[in-house]
Amino acid sequence: MNYAETIEYLYAQLPMYSRIGDAAYKKDIDNTIALCNALGNPQHNFKSVHIAGTNGKGSTSNMLAAILQASGYKTGLYTSPHIKDFGERIRINGKMIDQDFVVNFTEKTKALCKEINPSFFELTVAMAFDYFSHEQVDIAIIETGLGGRLDSTNIITPLLSIITNIGLDHTNLLGNTIEEIAFEKAGIIKYNIPVVIGEVNDKTKAVFEKKCTEMITVPLYAEEHFEAISIDNTGSHLNCKVYDKKKKESESYSLDLSGTYQLKNIQTVLAAEKILDDLGIKINKENKKNALSNVKNITGLRGRWDIVSKNPTIIYDVAHNKDGISAVLKQLDSISKNGQLHFIMGFVNDKDIHTMLDLLPANAKYYFTNAHIPRALSKELLAETALKKNLNGNCFDDVNEAIREAKKQAKINDVIIVCGSFFILSEIEPF
């Protein structure tokens, strides 16, 4: 098989959560252990940082990877899901995984896959570990998929664990309360391994403190060490000042991930860098600042407050849960005072759309669509639910059709935002 045929084979043969949902989720890590045992346990052959959280873990992973890469470290990066190409999930120094490696890995694991029937995610985690080992990376940033405790990535022993935040998402799998979800995310905290917590409240702090006591480690709460304040936002860059509460000094940064919600993530990244420095992973200040100004170019990250055109302003963002949509709305409020808002949106069918729709403004124009995957929530049901909340709009079979219509309707000062799902963004042509 060639690369394209191999990817289609993986999609067709292996249960894939992003397409079919709960049926693909395995509530243990046995298959990943079996796969990695057969591969010689490649996860033990490189240093790593493990990142979990409800929101922000993708941005945090990419920012940290960019900093390490700019500092001269050969840096692996494993994230999910991808937007356009499978190779986005597994990168070294920003370059997607070698296509021949994907083909050869799939061939050599076929017999084992028939025996243990892994999910798509389980196999790709093993593939990433094998690739990073084969390419002898200096360090790899590993983002969890769902949760943490039972996530396939949770067979590594990292230098550092990071939990960005906790919100109500994937409640059907992780629990219906903040405490239950925090417990699952806290599962990546390892014995005597330092951990950074990005955002915390009384409910989650109790969970994290208990787990850290069990694991004989002390959490570093990013908010207790750093405070990031926005100075201005040019659209392409978020200029901010970060105050180091321990050193009592400030540093300016210009982030090309320009969503205001990145202020929380930069605090988490700087807290992580502080621990990595103590562990001997040295990062030059100028390299760090340059990396944070060029994350998109360095790692290839997309879909985080991506302003793709002006007059009207068109923004792509992968926000897909209550906290994500809230953050997008907060920033939209700061840039759309003189124009109409146009929301192009679609969700997958396991999201709490009622909570998200309750947040949206009734005076905006809506364009409802859905991705072409089995897990997608139908645009008709979305429109019907939205109408009950006084959100009026039309249905479109394709996100590109919706974008074309919004462009026709929009005036020069208007803002068009495409959000709700990675899979909606993945169908935009061109992205």
pLDDT value at residue 237: 94
- Residue 310 predicted with pLDDT over 60: yes
State mean pLDDT over 3-17.
84
- Residue 16 predicted with pLDDT over 70: no
State mean pLDDT over 251-268.
96
Between 27 and 420, name the one with better pLDDT.
Answer: 420
**CA distances (Å), origin 16, targets 228, 337, 344, 373:** 38, 41, 26, 11
Q: What is the pLDDT of residues 332-389, one digit of tens each?
A: 987 867 899 999 999 999 889 999 999 999 999 999 999 999 889 999 999 999 999 9
Q: Is 349 exposed, middle or buried (0-12, 13-18, 19+ CB in 10 A)?
A: middle
State mean pLDDT over 258-286.
96
Q: What is the pLDDT of residues 138-155, one digit of tens each?
A: 999 999 998 899 999 999
Edge-to-edge strand list for the sheet holding 226-233: 226-233, 238-244, 249-255
pLDDT value at residue 374: 87
Whole-number average pLDDT of the chain? 93
Which band of pLDDT confidence, cut at 50, 70 and 90, is reported for residue 170?
low
- Residue 17 predicted with pLDDT over 60: no
Beta strands in 115-180 (DSSP E): 139-143, 160-163
> Which residue ranges form the domains of the chain, and what is each CATH number?
3-299 (3.40.1190.10), 306-426 (3.90.190.20)
Between 431 and 250, name the one with better pLDDT.
Answer: 250
pLDDT value at residue 113: 93
Amino acid, single-letter form, for residue 343 = F
Query: How far is 144 from 158, CA to CA, in rounded Å?
Result: 13
Which band of pLDDT confidence, cut at 50, 70 and 90, is reported for residue 196?
very high
pLDDT value at residue 25: 56
pLDDT value at residue 26: 61
Which band of pLDDT confidence, cut at 50, 70 and 90, is reported for residue 21?
low
- Residue 24 predicted with pLDDT over 70: no
Q: What is the pLDDT of residues 40-93, one digit of tens each?
A: 999 999 999 999 999 999 999 999 999 999 999 999 999 999 999 999 999 999
Amino acid, single-letter form, for residue 32 = T
Query: How far is 247 from 268, CA to CA, in rounded Å?
Result: 16
Query: How far is 101 from 168, CA to CA, in rounded Å?
Result: 37
- Residue 287 predicted with pLDDT over 90: yes
pLDDT value at residue 66: 98
pLDDT value at residue 147: 84
Q: Please provide the DSSP assignment of 256-271 as one string.
A: SS--TTHHHHHHHHHH
State mean pLDDT over 171-195.
90
State mean pLDDT over 11-38.
75
221 beta partners = 197
Query: How far is 367 from 362, CA to CA, in rounded Å?
Result: 13
Helices 99-108/120-134 angle, 10° precision: 120
Amino acid, single-letter form, for residue 318 = V
Longest dimension (CA), the chain: 60
